[in-house]
Amino acid sequence: EDQVTQSPEALRLQEGESSSLNCSYTVSGLRGLFWYRQDPGKGPEFLFTLYSAGEEKEKERLKATLTKKESFLHITAPKPEDSATYLCAVQAGSNYQLIWGAGTKLIIKP
Amino acid sequence: DTEVTQTPKHLVMGMTNKKSLKCEQHMGHRAMYWYKQKAKKPPELMFVYSYEKLSINESVPSRFSPECPNSSLLNLHLHALQPEDSALYLCASSQDGTGTPEFFGSGTRLTVV
């Protein structure tokens, strides 16, 4: 069964303390892996799409990477405004529906 | 304009009521989606309109019915809902029908009493 697992469930960091969020997946025929950010009471905000192992994408303090089994979202020198829930989703095989992870809640303390 | 606009933002309805949620986008996107999201859970896909063709998640009960009057508008009609249907209902759109939502609205917070 296709599955997406995110870890940790929650992560508390001090402002400026870099870290990584993990999204591991077991699917047949990866077509794309997607990262979203979601603030409380809002809809998710699309961040990145990764299609193949070795691919990397960057946006401000965020960098997403992809291997054949997992993706990492690296956060460099985070600020309090980076606090949010980060969601990972995968599209696989002939099914165009996204398979979502449960998310990582990131809290950056000033 | 890179916005997906949802109305109302909040809705409280009784189990015998009929109500509708509205979603609008003016980005020329050809696919629009309805998602349901419970607290601390990821979004669950309910319906997709892609190039005016409807795709349904088979697990969605018939008390939810989508309507797509035109390529910019998407409604979700609600009838005889249950308290467990209380959730954040999100609309999203994408340029094509690949199944990857690009822009989400802020959602309608629905409470069924």
Partner-chain contact B99 A97, CB within 8 Å: yes
pLDDT digits (tens, 9 = 90+) for A12-49: 999 999 999 999 999 988 999 999 999 998 999 999 99
How far is residue B27 CA from its own chain's centroid?
Answer: 17
pLDDT digits (tens, 9 = 90+) for A47-95: 999 999 999 999 999 999 999 999 999 999 999 999 999 999 999 887 7
CB nearest A100 (choices: B42, B105, B106): B42
Cβ-proximal residues to A45 (8 Å cutoff; 6+ apart), any chain: A36, A37, A38, A39, B104
Partner-chain contact B90 A43, CB within 8 Å: yes
Other residues' Cβ atoms within 10 Å of the Cβ of residue B36: 20
Average pLDDT over residues B79-100: 92
Flag whether residue A43 sits within 8 Å of chain B, measured between CB atoms. Answer: yes
Flag whether residue A78 sits within 8 Å of chain B, measured between CB atoms. Answer: no
Q: Which residue of B has its CA nearest to A48?
A: B102
How sure is the predictor about A96, in pLDDT bands with cuts at 50, 70 and 90?
confident
Cβ-proximal residues to A28 (8 Å cutoff; 6+ apart), any chain: A2, A92, A93
CB nearest A87 (choices: B42, B106, B107): B42
